[in-house]
A = this chain, B = another copy of it.
């Protein structure tokens, strides 16, 4: 976590932690995961209103918040707590949606508490899967993008499409608009997602949020922030996984001793702790730098934070399951859930891909 004397942040951290650890225990949260697995969709009646009360939308969407460097730090507190608490509610997608609207200068386009989810192409800095054709008093949109995190519960889809001239447009499309096919499903880690297809959707002109090359700045900034906030979620999950594994080593007995008495396991536990602290420290540093926006230094640190977090996540995920033995595979114990959560992160932010990206940022030849 970011070293801080910031009172708001500490109160927020206390609030989310209390919510996820004392008021809604693992069993209750996992019951919601199972309910979603039966096809009922996300139950937004339980935890969600409490998260709203904590002000998760305001943190991100408030116009002042975007100007306030602290707001990114506040969001990171929520993200880390969600990861540690293995909560499946789309708090992070919700914050990112509100944030992008604010970054694009049009926070007001979203009604209070509306869940707007950002297209994966924007969050991952890829070319959009959608195209826009101007028509009388609006646009006609077509295309497809898969795996929108939180897309299963989205009310608004924030997506980018280039028109025939190649100019990017940001649309805030109602998920229930005719022609929009939103296929919801659950990920292995329990969170919801969706594939979104637009088949010649005719849009109301009011759905256009912003357009033009100025969007590039907002997009780059949301990409940077989204990646670091996802890393915060992973840092939280690593912290939870390590604490759980440490407890396992202290309490589980084999061959007449706690398994933590075995040196090979001790050394592996130390390495798990080591790689968590490295990731945590660098994510925090990158987060502070990101408050200045996505400049070269910010991206350098972000590359480091993402690569380190991905590598640490993989190691901790695998070791957590292995050191728990059979118990590490069961549904009713958090170990496997941490494995799933951490594996999702490191597959969405592959260490090798980001290492290559970093190598392109800092070409050797300049150093020569």
Shortest distance from the beta carbon of A260 to any chain B beta carbon, whole Å: 12
**A interface secondary structure, majority:** helix
A262 neighbours in B (Cβ, 8 Å):
263
A267 at the interface (CB under 8 A from B): yes
Shortest distance from the beta carbon of A265 to any chain B beta carbon, whole Å: 8
Measured in the bound complex, the distance between the Cα atoms of B267 and A251 in whole Å is 23
How often does this chain occur in the complex, in copies?
2
Shortest distance from the beta carbon of A40 to any chain B beta carbon, whole Å: 40
A266 at the interface (CB under 8 A from B): yes
Shortest distance from the beta carbon of A166 to any chain B beta carbon, whole Å: 33
A264 at the interface (CB under 8 A from B): yes
Q: Name the residue of chain B whose CB is nearest to the CB of A261.
A: B263
Measured in the bound complex, the distance between the Cα atoms of B262 and A266 in whole Å is 11
A265 neighbours in B (Cβ, 8 Å):
263
Q: Mark A257-279, 1 if CB is under 8 A from B, else 0.
A: 00000111111000000000000
Q: Name the residue in A262, A263, A265, A266 with the highest tally of chain B Cβ atoms < 10 Å from its Cβ.
A: A263
A263 neighbours in B (Cβ, 8 Å):
262-265
Measured in the bound complex, the distance between the Cα atoms of B269 and A263 in whole Å is 14
Q: Name the residue of chain B whose CB is nearest to the CB of A262.
A: B263
Measured in the bound complex, the distance between the Cα atoms of B262 and A262 in whole Å is 9
A264 neighbours in B (Cβ, 8 Å):
263-264, 266-267
Q: What residues make up the interface of A, taking CB atoms closer than 8 Å to B? A: 262-267
What are 7 of the A-B contact pairs (CB < 8 Å)?
Answer: A262-B263, A263-B263, A263-B264, A263-B265, A264-B264, A264-B266, A264-B267
